Structures are given as structure tokens and as C-alpha cells.
């Protein structure tokens, strides 16, 4: 019974929470260089990430799993490199989203927020937050997030609220915030303004209505006008035609009559009008259409609002007052038809603006709101990326970023909600002036009166999240954290919030701190279902990360997300992939079992280290190669590719080949066994270190077992037995340049692999029973030394009879009753007498020969052409070597064929 008997299967359930608590208890998530602790060194540059704060009452979804995995990978990698790292966690109050949840809960009690009043509503929301606010952060912990939880923040914290007020007041004092009536996007269901970004457009079938605008001056005469929204006729203040449109030129300046209402409005000329569309004339509704609003400003037109907060027709709508906007549409149209004012209706595809949150149709309305004059901030934000102070990965998103900022409109920041940062503006009942203040004022700053009332509105959630990278570090106070950890290093998030969040953080960071908030933006893609469809509850294709973690382990999910994604590209997730990676975790585990057993069985007190075997050299070279590649890929943010390469190395090279050969070397006893145990331990150790940022739990757990086994058996793989206390803080493997011997060893080992594969292949083809050991004759002039040294390995891997192996430089006659194989410079003969079929053999040899000859021909042409002169010498030499090998192979194949003919 081995001393270390690990279970056969990796048990993630019993591991993950224990390991997480252990890391946390040992303080590994905290920065190793902390400005609030003794021994702080301000010259060491930290690596800092601010977490994209999830909605405080949200539930974990795959988007969270994605960014947590990615950021945790970045953090763990840098931590292992010895860089002081800080990952600041926190949550967002998510104004609209949270308020909607509370309102829904209220609705179930048959209440509205207006009924219970603001104070009571906020109390309930806070209670809700207290109750559910911990769930999401708990779930993020389950993913293995190595955040410094002592620095956790919430956007409505006192400190962050101070930051929000500071930001608002500064902008106001600089004249970059203003209040006024403007056409904004109104959400009638939520009864609040929303920003342009919060409106989504969807193509939907609708109707284009044609009707008559009767001329006031000449009865019976009319201008035909088309609209998709007849109810807005009630708010028309002009009819516009193109100035050069001959049909209507005569009417310009005349009056037309608004249907049903009978108001007179004038016909104006504006180049915006498209003569081809509809009748060529445009009704102008400045109060409910952005383009019409612009026209109205050019022509100084009156602006009429016809809808109230709930999008019901108001008193400007005459007989339709009180009707819902869609109801009014039908009724007005019916009345117009009765009045003979309609022309026709035709089907038409509309682009309907809908609320990102509620999904209802957004109504453009004129409303008094607070705005940020964004242009100066946008210019600075553009400059920071243009001059390279901030780098966006993948690079193509910089163009998207530029395009948005170059065409940006002022930002409507006030929301008619209750849950959020209340606007720090007070209105004086005595003098009517505004007091804008960082602290709650007791008196009007203008008249000194005490009759102050605070603006009832709150700020857009993104206003506070825009301050996140520095508000979480203590800004506006100049705290030690802010001084040391700001600017942060990496902003990792989904490309879908590039505008909402990233751009605004850059604008705010530059404006308020005078510095960039982070130097790199890494954007990951969205996660879709197996077919590439968006996951949504209505499709029923949502994958719940918690279920996946429960069933297959956190590491399997993390590895799938990390390795399955390419920067900026969406990924399609299927459970099959997670399953494959659960199997990988299990593979790791079982290699670990093998290694711990080997350690505990290895002989003690080593003598001098024996020469490395070919396999030893090969695996070291491969591993070193891997370390270098991973480092390069990490530097280029190619995390997925790095993970894939580690996977391939671990399974395809280490487990499939080296471990199999190691079994032989271990059975040799004494020093060879000791050093082989040491080698597999070292290779595993480095593999675990490389994998740790991807799959932290299984690697940490396994590494702990390896460490204990080594310590108990005096096997030192770290100098002086100086083991790191935990894998999470173990040093990252150092890249090294090759020493020159690697290529030859790689070529020799690859020959061994090819021989083994060829023999296995033939055995399978001929139906030789697995396990049956057969004799073999190896013939090669150039490689007999390699073959001799590898006889045991060849015998074991290809199931040959070691006692009946012949290795020779040349053979005069082909052995009777053998099947011959040619692998490069090596011939192998296997005595499969009963299974030899002359015709089959000839066919096989001819096929191989034909292939080789084709290659020879190709290479001869290649090397005879301009390639030999123009290609780099190293590339040419490689091809020449190949040709030489092919020629030898061809020759040997030909000899075998000849032998077959003559027998």
C-alpha cells in the first residue's frame, strides 16, 4: 500500500472551499507591499485591477465567471512573478436594475413606491441590499477570485458618495454640468430619463400612414405627408419641404391646418427633407422627435409636448387628452379618415427605440434634466489613447472607441429614480437660486435663507461607476492607497461596456485625477450558447455557472472560459467542453498520484547524478520551450493559446510519453530511479505553477501533496528544500534561452516516437493482440547508437520482446517472414509470418514509396528553384535535411520492394 494514497478521482467538492479559505486565512490575497503596513517600499511598481463591480443584488452568470477567471489569471500570474498585486473587489448599486426589483416586490404587495414614499422605499432597498448583497460576492469567491476582500467597496458607500459629490461639484464649478430643458429619451414605464446608450433599436413591422395637410389659404389644396406615428400630428408645429422641390415651392411660407385640432402651422423649407420619401414633405414634431427638434431649432419653431410622464396625451392633445399614445394613434387616424384627410396606409419596417431595461418603447420628450458637457472630457480621453498612454487590447477596438468619442453627445445624468446618488443641488424657495454643495447645506448660498429643497433626482449609475478605479482607493482624499495603487494597471471587461463604462472611466479619471485610470484595457467577448445564440431565459439556453461548478468543478469551468476564448471574440460554450476540461483536471490529479507514489517509493541517499537519458533531455527541452512560449504569449495577452499549449504539453508530452518511459527508469532502481522521481516531480511542479492561474484549486491541492511527499522523503526540488509556503505564492517559472543541445535530442526522441507509432500502427492493423510481446530487428547505420540506448523504451512502448531485439547497422538479406517498416533512416522488421500477405505488403510499400517520392520530387523542385537563393539559409537547410532523409527512406523502401519481388 503506497504511503500516499490519493483518491483515484479528483474530488473538487471537498477541495475548493477548503483551499479558498486557506488562501484567505493566510492573507495571500493581500498585496505583499502595502502602503498601510510597515516595511512598505514605494518604489516597487504594483499591478492593480479594479473589478468590474457586479450589480449588488445580481446573481452570478457566465459573464461574471468570464471576467473573474480572466482577471484572477492576470492577478495570480503577477503575484507569482513577485509583483505586489491588488485586486479591488466591490459591487454596484445598479440604480435602475435594483429599483425595478424592489418595485416588482412592492407590486406583489399591491403597492407602488409613491404610496410608501421615498424614505420608506429607500429603507426597503437597503434592507434588500443587506439581505441579498452578499450573494454575488460569495459566488465570486467560489470562482476562486483572489481579491483583497478587506478593500471591498460598494458604490453607495460613504466614501464613494463623497467621491460622487466631489466629482459633480467640480464639474459644475467648471461649468461642465448644466441643467435645462432638452429633448431626451424618456422611459414611460420607469418614468425617468435615460441616456442615449440605454436605448436599443429593434426592427419591427409597422405602418406608414399617408395623409393630407390642408392648405389654410386655398381650400381643397393639400400637401401629402407620411408618418409612422400619427399621434405626433397633435404636436406638429410645421410642415417642411425641400427648398428646391418644385411641387411645393409655392407653398413655402403659407399655412396648413393641423388635422382635427385645427391649429395653423406654417410650411417651411429645409434641406433635411428627402424629396423621395413619402410625399416629399415632412411633418415637424419638435417635442417628440430628435430630427424635428433640430429643424425646430434652426427655424425657431414652437415646441409642443403632447405627452405626459406616462406617455398619455396631455391637454395639448385636444379631444385625445388622457389617452395612451397608441390608443390616441388609432383614434386620431380613425377621426382623420372620417374627415377625409387620410390617403393610404402601407406596411413599413420601423426601427423602434426600446429601453435597455424595461424593453418598452422609448419616447423622445422635452424635459428638464442635468447634463454633462462632454466634449472637453471626450477630447482628453481621445488623446490618452491616441498618444498611447492607454492601450486597448485587441487593438481594433481603439477605432470603435475613437468613433464613439468623436461623435459623442452631451450626457444626460439625471434619473427620476430614488435608488442612487442624489444630485447635490438644493433649490431655494425664497430666492429661487440653486446651491450646489459637497456637504448638505443649511442655508441658501445666495440669499442665506433656510428654505432649501434638494433636487429629487439621482445620478445615472454610470456616473459613479465612472469614478470606480480611484473612488475605491480613497479619492478624493489623498490616501496611501490612492497614492500607491493609482493609476491602476489593467481594466479587464467585456467589449459591450466599452462606452458605458470604460470610456467614462477614462474621461473621469483624466478630469478628476489628472491621470489615466489604467494603462491597459483588455476586452473579452460575450459568451453564447453552443450554436452561437445569445443566452437568455426566454430561449431556455442559459447555462448557470454555479451548476456547472457543482457538477464539474470550478477549475474545469475556468479553464474552459480561459482557453476557449480569444481576445475580443465571442465564444460559444458547451458543456462538452467543460467536461473535457474536467477530465483534464482529473488527468492532472492522476499524474499527481503517480508522482507522489513514485516519490514515496524512490530510493533515498542519492549518489552522483547519472547522465540524462534521451527522454530526460527531451522533456526538459520541451518544458523549457513551453515556459518560454507561455511567457511570450502572456506578454501578448494570448492567455487562451498559452493554456492550450500547457494542456498539450502536459497531456501529450509529459503524461503520454515521458511518464511511460519514467516507469521504466523508476524500475531500474538506485540513482536512476531517484533522479527520475526527481525529474517527474520537477516537471510536475513547473507544470502546476504554469497552470495555477488557470486552474488554481486542483493545482494548489496537488502541489500541497507533492510538497509533503517530497519533504517526508527528503527529495529536494527547490534549492535547500526551501519550498514556498503555497503554490499561489510560488515563483513563476523563469524563461531561459536554449543551450544548443536541444534540437538534436528533440530529433532523436521524435524518431523514437515515430518508430513506436509505426509499430503500434502495424500491430493494430494486423490485429496483433495488445500485450503480446514480439521480437524485432532494427536496422540503421546512422541511428544504431540511439536505437541501442533506447531499446528498453522502444520495447516497452511498442510492446516488443526485449530479449529478442536485434539492432544492427546493416542487413544483407531481408529476414524471412518479416514485415518491414521504414521510418526515416531506420528499418524495422517484425516477424509476423502468419500475417504476411505478399500483395498487401507490396501495396503498402508501394503506397509509402509513392508518397515519399512525391515529397522528394517536391523538395527537389523547391530546392532547385529561387527558394534556395532567396529563403533564409536556416529554412533552406531544414528542407535539405528533409530531402536527405526522404532519399534514404525511399532507397530503403525500394530495397524492401525488390526483396519482395525476388522472394
Partner RNA sequence: GGGCGGUUAGCUCAGCUGGUUAGAGCGUUGCGUUGACAUCGCAAAGGUCGUUGGUUCGAGUCCAAUACCGCCCACCA
Residues 236-295 touching RNA, rule: CB under 7 A, are 272-278, 280-283, 289-291
- Closer to RNA at the Cβ: 544 or 641? 641
Q: Is 532 in the site for RNA (CB under 7 A)?
A: yes
Min separation Cβ 551 and RNA, Å: 10
Could you say which residues in the range 457-496 bind RNA, by CB under 7 A?
496
Residues in the interface with RNA (CB under 7 A) total 98
Could you say which residues in the range 489-528 bind RNA, by CB under 7 A?
496, 499, 528
Q: Is 882 in the site for RNA (CB under 7 A)?
A: yes
- Member of 57, 98, 227, 461 binding RNA (CB under 7 A): 227
Could you say which residues in the range 579-618 bind RNA, by CB under 7 A?
579-580, 582-583, 585-587, 590-591, 593-594, 597
- Closer to RNA at the Cβ: 834 or 873? 873
Q: Is 640 in the site for RNA (CB under 7 A)?
A: yes
Q: Are strands 363-372 and 826-830 parallel, antiparallel or unpaired?
A: unpaired
- Closer to RNA at the Cβ: 609 or 860? 860
Min separation Cβ 11 and RNA, Å: 8
Q: Is 651 in the site for RNA (CB under 7 A)?
A: yes
Min separation Cβ 236 and RNA, Å: 10
Helices first, then strands: H and E counts in the chain: 27, 29
- Closer to RNA at the Cβ: 483 or 572? 572
Q: Is 545 in the site for RNA (CB under 7 A)?
A: no
Min separation Cβ 640 and RNA, Å: 6
Could you say which residues in the range 756-785 bind RNA, by CB under 7 A?
756-757, 760-761, 764-765, 769-771
Could you say which residues in the range 150-189 bind RNA, by CB under 7 A?
none
Q: Is 539 in the site for RNA (CB under 7 A)?
A: no
Q: Check: CB of residue 392 under 8 Å from CB of residue 401.
A: yes
Q: Check: CB of residue 47 under 8 Å from CB of residue 87.
A: no
Alpha-carbon gap, residue 89 to 473, rounded angstroms: 11
Is the preceding omega at residue 105 within 30 degrees of 0, hence cis?
Answer: no
Alpha-carbon gap, residue 326 to 491, rounded angstroms: 44
Looking from the CA of 601 toward its CB, the CA atoms found within 13 Å total 18
Q: Is 821 in the site for RNA (CB under 7 A)?
A: no
Query: Which parts of 216-306 are beta strand (E)?
Result: 222-227, 238-241, 255-257, 264-269, 281-284
Is the preceding omega at residue 266 within 30 degrees of 0, hence cis?
Answer: no
Min separation Cβ 349 and RNA, Å: 9
Min separation Cβ 271 and RNA, Å: 11
Min separation Cβ 598 and RNA, Å: 9
- Closer to RNA at the Cβ: 124 or 682? 682
- Member of 39, 220, 870, 901 binding RNA (CB under 7 A): 870
Is the preceding omega at residue 476 within 30 degrees of 0, hence cis?
Answer: yes
Min separation Cβ 632 and RNA, Å: 7
Could you say which residues in the range 554-573 bind RNA, by CB under 7 A?
564, 566, 569, 571-572
Q: Which of 563, 540, 761, 567 is nearest to 650 (CA)?
A: 563
Q: Is 825 in the site for RNA (CB under 7 A)?
A: no
- Member of 252, 447, 835, 862 binding RNA (CB under 7 A): 862
Min separation Cβ 553 and RNA, Å: 9
Q: Which of 387, 559, 632, 393 is nearest to 490 (CA)?
A: 393
Could you say which residues in the range 420-439 bind RNA, by CB under 7 A?
none
Q: Check: CB of residue 79 under 8 Å from CB of residue 46.
A: no
Could you say which residues in the range 355-414 bind RNA, by CB under 7 A?
396, 399-400, 403-404, 407
DSSP SS3 for 440: coil
Alpha-carbon gap, residue 827 to 893, rounded angstroms: 9
- Member of 106, 443, 497, 655 binding RNA (CB under 7 A): 655
Min separation Cβ 859 and RNA, Å: 7
**Angle at 48 (CA atoms; ends 65, 377), nearest 5 degrees:** 95
Q: How many other C-beta atoms are found inside a 10 Å radius of the C-beta of residue 628?
A: 16
- CB under 8 A, 24+ apart: contacts of 11-16: 12/552, 12/553, 12/554, 12/555, 12/556, 12/585, 12/697, 12/698, 13/550, 13/553, 15/697, 15/698, 15/701, 16/142, 16/144, 16/553, 16/554, 16/697
DSSP SS3 for 46: coil
Amino acid at each position: 500500500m503506497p504511503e500516499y494514497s490519493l483518491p483515484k478521482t479528483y474530488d473538487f467538492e471537498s477541495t475548493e472551499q477548503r483551499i479558498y479559505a486557506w488562501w484567505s486565512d493566510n492573507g495571500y490575497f493581500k498585496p505583499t507591499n502595502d502602503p498601510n503596513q510597515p516595511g512598505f517600499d514605494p518604489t516597487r511598481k504594483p499591478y492593480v485591477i479594479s473589478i468590474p463591480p457586479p450589480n449588488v443584488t445580481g446573481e452570478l452568470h457566465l459573464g461574471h465567471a468570464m471576467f473573474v477567471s480572466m482577471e484572477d489569471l492576470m492577478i495570480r500570474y503577477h503575484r507569482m512573478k513577485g509583483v505586489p498585486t491588488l485586486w479591488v473587489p466591490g459591487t454596484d448599486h445598479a440604480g435602475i436594475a435594483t429599483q425595478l426589483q424592489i418595485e416588482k416586490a412592492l407590486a406583489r404587495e399591491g403597492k407602488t413606491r409613491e404610496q410608501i414614499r421615498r424614505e420608506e422605499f429607500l429603507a426597503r432597498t437597503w434592507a434588500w441590499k443587506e439581505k441579498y448583497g452578499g450573494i454575488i460576492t460569495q459566488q465570486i469567491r467560489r470562482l476562486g477570485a483572489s481579491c483583497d476582500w478587506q478593500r471591498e467597496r460598494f458604490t453607495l458607500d460613504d466614501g464613494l458618495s463623497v467621491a460622487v459629490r466631489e466629482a459633480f461639484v467640480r464639474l459644475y464649478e467648471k461649468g461642465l454640468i448644466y441643467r435645462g430643458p432638452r429633448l431626451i429619451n424618456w422611459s414611460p414605464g420607469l418614468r425617468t430619463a435615460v441616456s442615449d446608450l440605454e436605448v436599443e433599436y429593434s426592427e419591427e413591422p409597422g405602418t406608414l400612414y399617408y395623409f393630407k395637410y390642408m392648405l389654410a389659404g386655398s381650400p381643397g389644396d393639400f400637401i401629402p405627408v407620411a408618418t409612422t406615428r400619427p399621434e405626433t400630428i397633435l404636436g406638429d408645429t410645421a410642415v417642411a419641404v425641400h427648398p428646391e422641390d418644385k411641387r411645393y415651392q409655392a407653398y413655402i411660407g403659407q399655412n396648413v391646418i393641423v388635422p382635427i385640432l385645427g391649429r395653423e402651422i406654417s410650411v417651411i423649407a429645409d434641406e433635411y427633407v428627402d424629396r423621395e420619401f413619402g410625399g416629399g414633405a415632412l411633418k415637424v414634431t419638435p417635442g417628440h422627435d430628435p430630427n424635428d427638434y433640430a429643424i425646430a431649432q434652426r427655424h425657431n419653431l414652437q415646441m409642443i409636448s403632447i405627452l405626459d410622464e406616462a406617455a398619455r396625451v396631455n391637454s395639448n392633445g385636444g379631444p385625445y387628452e388622457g389617452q395612451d399614445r397608441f390608443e390616441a394613434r388609432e383614434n386620431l387616424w380613425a377621426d382623420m379618415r372620417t374627415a377625409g384627410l387620410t390617403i393610404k396606409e402601407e406596411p413599413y419596417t420601423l426601427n423602434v427605440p426600446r429601453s435597455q431595461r424595461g424593453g418598452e418603447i422609448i419616447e423622445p420628450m422635452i424635459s428638464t434634466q442635468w447634463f454633462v458637457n462632454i466634449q472637453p472630457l471626450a477630447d482628453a480621453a481621445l488623446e490618452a489613447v491616441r498618444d498611447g498612454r492607454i492601450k486597448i487590447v485587441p487593438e481594433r477596438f481603439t477605432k470603435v472607441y475613437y468613433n464613439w468619442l468623436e461623435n459623442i453627445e452631451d450626457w444626460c445624468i439625471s434619473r427620476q429614480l430614488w435608488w442612487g446618488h442624489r444630485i447635490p443641488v438644493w433649490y431655494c424657495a425664497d430666492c429661487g437660486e440653486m446651491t450646489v454643495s459637497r456637504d448638505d447645506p443649511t442655508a441658501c448660498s445666495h440669499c442665506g435663507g433656510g428654505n432649501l429643497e434638494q433636487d429629487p433626482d439621482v445620478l445615472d449609475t454610470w456616473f459613479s461607476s465612472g469614478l470606480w478605479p480611484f473612488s475605491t482607493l480613497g479619492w478624493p482624499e489623498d490616501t496611501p492607497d490612492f497614492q500607491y495603487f493609482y493609476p491602476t494597471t489593467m481594466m479587464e471587461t467585456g467589449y459591450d461596456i466599452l462606452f458605458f463604462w470604460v470610456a467614462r472611466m477614462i474621461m473621469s479619471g483624466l478630469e478628476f485625477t489628472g491621470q489615466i485610470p489604467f494603462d491597459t484595457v483588455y476586452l473579452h467577448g460575450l459568451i453564447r450558447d453552443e450554436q452561437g445564440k445569445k443566452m437568455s431565459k426566454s430561449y431556455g439556453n442559459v447555462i448557470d455557472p454555479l451548476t456547472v461548478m457543482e457538477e464539474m468543478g470550478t477549475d474545469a469551468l475556468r479553464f474552459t472560459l480561459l482557453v476557449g476564448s480569444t481576445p475580443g471574440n465571442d465564444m460559444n460554450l458547451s458543456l462538452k467542453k467543460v467536461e473535457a476540461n474536467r477530465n483534464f483536471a482529473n488527468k492532472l490529479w492522476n499524474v499527481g498520484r503517480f508522482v507522489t507514489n513514485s516519490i514515496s517509493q524512490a530510493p533515498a541517499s542519492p549518489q552522483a547524478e547519472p547522465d540524462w537519458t534521451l527522454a530526460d533531455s527531451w522533456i526538459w527541452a520541451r518544458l523549457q520551450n513551453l515556459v518560454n512560449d507561455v511567457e511570450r504569449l502572456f506578454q501578448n495577452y494570448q492567455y487562451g493559446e498559452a493554456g492550450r499549449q500547457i494542456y498539450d504539453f502536459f497531456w501529450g508530452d509529459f503524461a503520454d510519453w515521458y511518464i511511460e518511459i519514467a516507469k521504466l527508469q523508476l524500475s531500474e532502481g538506485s540513482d536512476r530511479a531517484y533522479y527520475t522521481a526527481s525529474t517527474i516531480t520537477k516537471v510536475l511542479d513547473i507544470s502546476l505553477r504554469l497552470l495555477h492561474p488557470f486552474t488554481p484549486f486542483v493545482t494548489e491541492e496537488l502541489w500541497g501533496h507533492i510538497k509533503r511527499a517530497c519533504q517526508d522523503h527528503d527529495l529536494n526540488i527547490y534549492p535547500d528544500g526551501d519550498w514556498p509556503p503555497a503554490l499561489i505564492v510560488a515563483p513563476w517559472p523563469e524563461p531561459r534561452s536554449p543551450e544548443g543541445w536541444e534540437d538534436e535530442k528533440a530529433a532523436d526522441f521524435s524518431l523514437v516516437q515515430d518508430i513506436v507509432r509505426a509499430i503500434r500502427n502495424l500491430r493494430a492493423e494486423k490485429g496483433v493482440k495488445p500485450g503480446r510481446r514480439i521480437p524485432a530487428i532494427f536496422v540503421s547505420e546512422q541511428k544504431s547508437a540511439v536505437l541501442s540506448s533506447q531499446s528498453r523504451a522502444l520495447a516497452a512502448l511498442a510492446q516488443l520482446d526485449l530479449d529478442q531485439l536485434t539492432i544492427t547497422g546493416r542487413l544483407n538479406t531481408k529476414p524471412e517472414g518479416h514485415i518491414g517498416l521504414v521510418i526515416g533512416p531506420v528499418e524495422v522488421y517484425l516477424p509476423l509470418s502468419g500475417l504476411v500477405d505478399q500483395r498487401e505488403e507490396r501495396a503498402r510499400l508501394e503506397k509509402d514509396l509513392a508518397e515519399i517520392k512525391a515529397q522528394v520530387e517536391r523538395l527537389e523542385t523547391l530546392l532547385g528553384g529561387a527558394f534556395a537563393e532567396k529563403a533564409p539559409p536556416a529554412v533552406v537547410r531544414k528542407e535539405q535535411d528533409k530531402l536527405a532523409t526522404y532519399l534514404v527512406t525511399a532507397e530503403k523502401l525500394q530495397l524492401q520492394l525488390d526483396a519482395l519481388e525476388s522472394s
